[in-house]
Amino acid sequence: MSEPYAPTLEAALACIAAVRPAAYARTRNALDGAVSGLSPYISHGFVSLAEVLAGVAAHHRLDMQHKFVYELGWRAYFRHVWQQHGDGILRSLHEGPLPDSAYAAELPADIRQAQTGVPVIDEAVRRLYRSGMLHNHARMWLASYIVHLRHVHWRAGADWLYGHLLDGDLASNHLSWQWVAGTGSRKPYLFNAENVARYAPAAWHSPGSVIDASYEALDQLARQPGPGVAASPAGPATDEPLLHDSPPAALAATAPSTADVAGRDVWLVHPWSLGLLPPALPADTLVLGLFVDEFHWAWPWSERRWHFVGRRMAELADRLWQGDAAAIGAALASARSVRSIAEPHLDAWLPRWAACEPAPALFPPVNRHCDSFSQWWTHASRGLHSAADLLAVNEVPAW
Ligand SMILES: Cc1cc2nc3c(=O)[nH]c(=O)nc-3n(C[C@H](O)[C@H](O)[C@H](O)COP(=O)(O)OP(=O)(O)OC[C@H]3O[C@@H](n4cnc5c(N)ncnc54)[C@H](O)[C@@H]3O)c2cc1C
């Protein structure tokens, strides 16, 4: 069997080739539904949204309203909100069912250790730790339970989940948590045992647990100030994998050094630009892989994610650097030229060091503030009827 989420372009292209849009639209809400598994590759720039859509549209006719196009839209929309709000996405965009101060700041140990006694939650946490991935519906269930039943602040849950995901993206993750919490959407997202029984395998079913209740009762719990439902820890504890704020030694990343780059043309590869190198790079360009300490101190990753990113980066780059922003900036100042691809995760630093090309876009730019996905979608899809129309906006070549 091939390695799940192998950090190669071939694996990303195989996921694109395997997309079956009709089955996707029919089954995507089920845990065993025909979802693409593309998000780690999209999050780390192995492939862009435009390349994904072009690859799928080469074999399947998709109209603009197709579920698959729509879901790609959610990712683009969250990036749009990030662009509008900057670091503001890390705070509640508006008040949810309760004020921020009504929620606990820490994620309880029984959740971290998959010991809540609610099968759907414990299964989700175990799967997350085992694979670094979680189906969208499972992420929604987990987030909803944490915020609305346990009254833990969405930010505590979002930071924890981000660290363990292979596809962790500050916009898609933190804004999805806000959408579930009701601080980025009009109402809280709630789910019950019946919903789980419909979309998840038997081991996840949770009859008789706290979520085996009507939506009215769950809504009341979500809006009732206080500590939330009591934990009823059950089963053996699962160890939470450690998170790391620097690359594994096996990657042999070195400290930034003037000697590496003095007088050279440099192309910077970062963890969100792991696609093909630009075809027009002059032959003597130094391809430098970069890990910026300040980012990873704030947002540590699982070992699995470090290996996923690191193996691909080592394949692309002549050498890898890890260092703080001051050391990187000082060393790069001696290069003849430095170029890279713009990336909001590195917005605080990258533009100071490199001339940044924009990341490839799929949707037309929406330059106004949109409060909801549907508002954004109305603007982003105006006058477009099919995936082919959408791809033509940015002249994405056909596959
Ligand atoms: C609480 C929570 C946290 C999340 N955190 C992240 C995250 O850190 N990174 C991330 O990429 N996605 C996140 N998502 C969105 C979504 O769960 C994943 O993108 C999806 O599960 C990835 O699986 P897939 O590639 O098989 O998706 P598919 O259903 O096959 O969709 C194809 C692609 O469309 C995009 N997409 C699909 N659904 C969504 C969505 N709801 N929001 C944004 N983009 C979407 C992704 O790029 C995905 O790879 C989160 C959702 C929730 C509810």
Give the C-alpha separation, 183 to 11, whole Å. Answer: 36
State the chain's mean pLDDT as an integer. Answer: 96
66 lines ligand 1 (CB under 6 A): no
**pLDDT of 397:** 60
pLDDT band, very low/low/confident/very high, at 399 (cuts 50, 70, 90): low
Domains and CATH numbers, the chain: 9-88+363-393 (no CATH), 93-241 (1.10.579.10), 244-357 (3.40.50)
Residue nearest to atom 34 of ligand 1 (CA): 72
Q: Which of 23, 21, 25 is nearest to 59 (CA)?
A: 21
From first CA to last CA, the distance across the chain in angstroms is 28
**Pairing status of strand 265-269 against strand 286-292:** parallel
Q: Is the per-residue pLDDT at 396 higher than 80?
A: no
Average pLDDT of span 347-355: 98
- Whole-structure pTM value: 0.98
pLDDT band, very low/low/confident/very high, at 109 (cuts 50, 70, 90): very high
139 lines ligand 1 (CB under 6 A): yes
**How confident is the model over 63-98, as pLDDT tens digits?**
999 999 999 999 999 999 999 999 999 999 999 999
**How confident is the model over 49-58, as pLDDT tens digits?**
999 999 999 9
- Token match 């982003």: residue? 380
Q: What atom of ligand 1 comes closest to residue 77's alpha carbon?
A: 43
Q: What atom of ligand 1 comes closest to residue 41's alpha carbon?
A: 49
Residue nearest to atom 20 of ligand 1 (CA): 136
**pLDDT of 43:** 98
**How confident is the model over 254-272, as pLDDT tens digits?**
999 999 999 999 999 999 9
Identity (one letter) of the amino acid at 246? S
Alpha helices in 4-66 (DSSP H): 9-17, 21-27, 39-43, 49-57
143 lines ligand 1 (CB under 6 A): yes
Q: Which of 141, 150, 143 is nearest to 116 (CA)?
A: 150
**pLDDT of 398:** 54
Identity (one letter) of the amino acid at 55? G
97 lines ligand 1 (CB under 6 A): no
Ligand 1 mean position, distance from CA 50 (Å): 16
DSSP result, 333-394: TTSSEEEEE--GGGTTTHHHHSEEEPPP-SSPP--S--SSHHHHHHHHTTT--BHHHHHHHT
42 lines ligand 1 (CB under 6 A): yes
Average pLDDT of span 295-322: 98
Average pLDDT of span 138-156: 98
Q: What atom of ligand 1 comes closest to residue 40's alpha carbon?
A: 11
- Top mutation candidate among 75, 121, 165 for ligand 1, by most atoms within 8 Å of CB: 75
Ligand 1 mean position, distance from CA 172 (Å): 7
